[in-house]
Amino acid sequence: MRNPELNAGQKGPSTPEIAAWIRERIRSRRFVSGQRLVEFDITRKTGGSRFKVREALQHLEAEGLVSIEEYRGASVRSATMDEVRQLYRARGALEGICAADFTRNASQKQHAKLKKIGNDMEHAVQVGATESFATLNAQWHELIMEGSGNPAIRALVQRLNTPVHHLVFETFYRAERLLSAIADHSAILAAISNRDPAGAELAMRQHVEDGFTFLMKLDKDLHFGDEAE
């Protein structure tokens, strides 16, 4: 148990690598909400120096993933349900814009690819391949943001997603949601194909906000009887 899990050559991992390591652990729920992130532990487990670990934590704080208190160090930040609602509202607006801009700016190739991913997703649902559905879904949304010519928004949305990932993950194991997502995607694709930016925007926003509604229901089921804090 002495060897670090992260080993980048001789010199130890870089600050971004450490940040990514922590981020991944938060995503995968190995670091849970509220858990304190002790510098020394991370130092040992990643093999990075304390200085770099500190830097990494600073970055994560700026991203909103952890919160740092004086003399108490960093801990995993938990988004309240209301915060998640706000973030989803923002995401809906931003991805809506991207859908509209995709309609205007995307290349023929990107249009084709979007259609293909959509088909693959339908197939994944029929087969029941949940993980590949999740991957495809992420690709689908990424593609729309990419084709819209708005890398800045894309980066923004990526950040918005991070603090709520654990919940999103659960979503992909519910068949109802999968089917409804497929239907939404078809509607969005139809609007895009019809060169209807406003329609695409509206449909996309609805899709994202429905995602939140579903999430909220799910959360009620999962954390039934949890006490706060």
Partner DNA sequence: GCCGACAATATTGTTGACAATATTGTTGAA
Partner DNA sequence: TTCAACAATATTGTCAACAATATTGTCGGC
| Contacted by 63, from a second copy, DNA, none: CB < 5 to 8 Å by type | a second copy
| Contacted by 93, from a second copy, DNA, none: CB < 5 to 8 Å by type | a second copy
- Chain positions 103 to 162 lying near a second copy, rule: CB under 8 A, are 149-153, 156
- Closest CB 46 distance from a second copy, rounded Å: 18
> Of 177 and 205, which has the nearer Cβ to a second copy?
205
- Closest CB 37 distance from DNA, rounded Å: 6
> Of 15 and 148, which has the nearer Cβ to DNA?
15
Q: Name the residues that contact DNA, by CB under 7 A.
A: 11-12, 14-15, 36-40, 49-52, 54, 68-74
Coil, helix or strand for 8? Answer: coil
- Closest CB 150 distance from a second copy, rounded Å: 5
Q: Is 166 in the site for a second copy (CB under 8 A)?
A: no
